[in-house]
Structure 1
Amino acid sequence: MRHTPIALAFLLTSLALPLQARTEAGPRPITPRGALSAEETANIELFRKASPSVVHITTLAARRDFFSLNVQQVPAGTGTGFVWDEAGHIVTNFHVIQGGSGAQVTLADQTSYEAELVGAFPDRDLAVLRIKAPREKLPPIAIGASRELRVGQRVYAIGNPFGLDQTLTTGIVSALGREIESFNNRTIRGVIQTDAAINPGNSGGPLLDSAGRLIGVNTQIASPSGASAGIGFAIPVDEVNRIVPRLIRDGRFLRPAIGVTAGPENLTRALGLPRGVPLVQVQPGGPAAKAGLKPFQRGRGSQIVAGDVITAVAGEAVDSLDDILSLLETRQPGDRVNLTVWRSGQSRSVTVTLGSAE
């Protein structure tokens, strides 16, 4: 390495300094910090209470060894979940475990357990696993209510972004009532939007309010790069608290049904029908058929025989079959529901006893 004349002179001068001429140096004294702010103290306490309920999920995939032909399970992806109850039920996103041959759950104390699938509902991107762990290691997460949320509220996300477990990020409720598409192309309504950093690996983790209560399950982000861009989405806890108990009880979510098939949007435009869901098929002997509903059909000479258009379910207007299904999901098979039905210029109210969609 070559030195400039000035640098060389400085180097020679510094080497020539006698030891007694050199300045004594030591660690600088620490400036007293003072008390933490109220907000910092609240953040620390929230994480201390909630983090033991958050788990790291590793999805496993079966792989056959090329030489021995033995089949073994290897890690295929990671996500987040949380403890639902002391029986060992773990809630996460369906897409976290989708396509896996097994799953492993790692608790906050770093102990790991094999998990079994209890049930899943892809329409809402929710799944329930179960592990056999001591009850003292399974503190259930506190449950809140999403219907009480307001835009601007402080929120917290705990998860495992990029495999880095027990990560806390903060933000606010950016918007309410968003719509996103689930992994089976069903619309998820009433979704919470937040700017709390959510990255790959956060999926299935809890979104908490400032009281440390679960208000949503982090599920998706909107980002051109695939990393957090300040737009994350969470399934509201009111939906979670409705669906998870049925997954635990039945192993699946039996959606109520009325036994109809909806026509395409262009049918509504072509026939000049009112806003609603035109029926092109009614299941014989099904709930809608028993209530007297009729589909649109072709008569002689390709003439269209007028059928029914469902315009509202329990007083709420509907535009698509997806709207109908979403409203029916809040009910149970066997419940009775009022439909507003239009046919040939006249509206009427029809009561239908719900069946189940197997």
Structure 2
Amino acid sequence: MKQFAGFVISGIIGGMIVFGGIQMTKSDYTPAIEQSAMELPARTVATNEMISMRVPVSFADAAEKATPAVVHIRARESEETARNRMQQRQRQDPFYRFFQPDDLFDNFFRFEGNPFGRGMDNPEFFRRRGSGSGVIVSPDGYVVTNNHVIRFADEVTVTLNDNRVFNAEVVGRDETTDLAVLKIEGSNLPTLKFADSDKSRVGDWVLAVGNPFDYLTSTVTAGIISAKGRNLNIIDSEGSIESFIQTDAAVNPGNSGGALVDDLGRLLGINTAIATPTGAYAGYSFAIPINLVAKIVDDIIEFGYYRRAFLGITISEMDAKLADEIGVNITTGALIVEVQENSSAEKAGLRPNDIIISVNDSDINNASQLQAAIGASRVGDNLMINVSRNGRIISVPVTLIE
């Protein structure tokens, strides 16, 4: 009996020990389970909050700021100019009158009049016309656009976003950058703040605002900056400056001269070209950086032409092959091949075989970026140019001359 009672007591004590152990184990483990269970929803909520802040992205504020300052431009050749051009062309080519007019497909120009009434008796048919976009850059009516939008025209009209129509005067043009400035008679016109295009980065959001295909007025498209300092060799002019901002915002014929703006609605560039096998948007568009545009617009307004500063050097673009040939480990930048006599570069002490790596603390990765940096500078400006010379980085102060 006593032995049986001992077994019962031992069993009770053992059960209590086991139960206590389970409870202790449960007590130690449960908080970890509870914490894990509590953290999972917290992580989910954090992810959802992050997504809710970024998707969907709205550019409504930027578009609202930009759209009023972007105008629709219609350009046309006068009958007198068309007649003179036809007569001159006919003197050069007697068979010209029997065939299509020149520049029929150039820049998507269209021709007015009766297509069956060709010849000197119907110059209206030969009047070239086109359309594009522009951006108001001053409250008193200065408008910037592309030169190729208006280069053939002596009759230009500008339609604002509020449908007001103005006759425009061509103040000046610059073929080397494909920019032109117009003037309309107005006051208190809407304008845009300028961004600093040098500080824009690949991956930044941008909007293209313009008038594609002549009839889709005030169209806004979005994309990102895909590349900077892009040289396409599309400006057919000696001494051309090409350092385009490349984007994937949709741009089509008619967008030329329109605004590229950042996500704050500030003017970042002037849309100028597209890369396309069809004539319509195929994935990439190109804009002239506003830092370059601003310098040229100011010069045209003040002097009537682009007063261009020159460094006075001949350069080659650095790459791995050139670096290997000259025995350096620098694969970006611009190699000075020749320094012109009495130039800004010679007076400052720049030498052949110097490799320009930065201008005023802005990196120079290719020849286009160097051209843009000099092109955006004024005659008399002092630049600090960093070069690699004999394996050492030195700073050379340069004063630009015309």
Global fold match (TM > 0.5):
yes
Change (3 A) 1:281 1:152: closer
TM-score computed with the length of structure 2 as normaliser? 0.60
Instruction: Give the Cα–Cα distance (whole angstroms) in 2 for the partners of residues 340 and 41 of structure 1.
Output: 41
Instruction: Give the Cα–Cα distance (whole angstroms) in 1 for the partners of residues 374 and 344 of structure 2.
Output: 13
User: Pick from 368, 372, 379: which aligns with 1:333?
Assistant: 379
Change (3 A) 1:260 1:117: same
Q: 1:255 maps to which residue?
A: 308
- The farther-off stretch of 210-219 and 225-234 is 210-219
1:226 aligns with 2:283: no
Q: Counting strand residues as a fraction of each chain, which structure ranks higher?
A: 1
For structure 2, the residue ranges without an aligned partner over 5 or more in a row are 1-54, 87-118
Q: Which amino acid aligns with 1:193?
A: T
TM-aligned CA deviation for residue 231 of structure 1: 1.9
- The farther-off stretch of 168-177 and 220-229 is 168-177
Change (3 A) 1:59 1:73: farther
Instruction: Give the Cα–Cα distance (whole angstroms) in 1 for the partners of residues 384 and 309 of structure 2.
Output: 14
Q: Which amino acid aligns with 1:98?
A: R
Q: Which amino acid aligns with 1:156?
A: L
Look up the SS of the partner of 1:161 in the other structure. Answer: coil
Per-residue CA distance 1:103-153 (angstroms, 9 max, x = gap): 222223434333222233444332211112x325x2223444442556263
TM-aligned CA deviation for residue 77 of structure 1: 1.0
Assess if the C-alpha contact under 8 Å between 2:241 and 2:375 holds in 1: no
Q: 2:203 maps to which residue?
A: 151
Assess if the C-alpha contact under 8 Å between 1:51 and 1:158 holds in 2: yes
For structure 1, the residue ranges without an aligned partner over 5 or more in a row are 1-37, 295-307
Q: 2:159 maps to which residue?
A: 106
CA RMSD of aligned residues (A): 4.1
User: Pick from 82, 95, 109: which aligns with 1:63?
Assistant: 82
TM-aligned CA deviation for residue 248 of structure 1: 2.1
TM-aligned CA deviation for residue 63 of structure 1: 1.3
1:184 aligns with 2:236: yes
Q: 1:8 maps to which residue?
A: none
Instruction: Give the Cα–Cα distance (whole angstroms) in 1 for the partners of residues 265 and 173 of structure 2.
Output: 26
Look up the SS of the partner of 1:255 in the other structure. Answer: coil
Instruction: Give the Cα–Cα distance (whole angstroms) in 1 for the partners of residues 262 and 370 of structure 2.
Output: 31
Per-residue CA distance 1:217-252 (angstroms, 9 max, x = gap): 221112211111232222333433344233322222
1:354 aligns with 2:370: no
User: Pick from 219, 244, 248: which aligns with 1:194?
Assistant: 248
Q: How many residues align?
A: 300
Q: 2:340 maps to which residue?
A: 282
Change (3 A) 1:74 1:113: farther
TM-aligned CA deviation for residue 166 of structure 1: 1.9
Change (3 A) 1:330 1:208: closer
Q: Structure 2 matches for 1:135-174, cutoff 5 A?
A: 135-136=187-188, 138-146=189-197, 147-148=199-200, 151=203, 153=205, 155-174=206-225
TM-aligned CA deviation for residue 311 of structure 1: 1.5
* Amino-acid identity (%): 31
Change (3 A) 1:241 1:341: closer
Q: Structure 2 matches for 1:68-107, cutoff 5 A?
A: 74-107=127-160
TM-aligned CA deviation for residue 159 of structure 1: 1.7
**Which has the higher Rg, Structure 1 or Structure 2?**
2
TM-aligned CA deviation for residue 291 of structure 1: 4.4
Q: 2:16 maps to which residue?
A: none
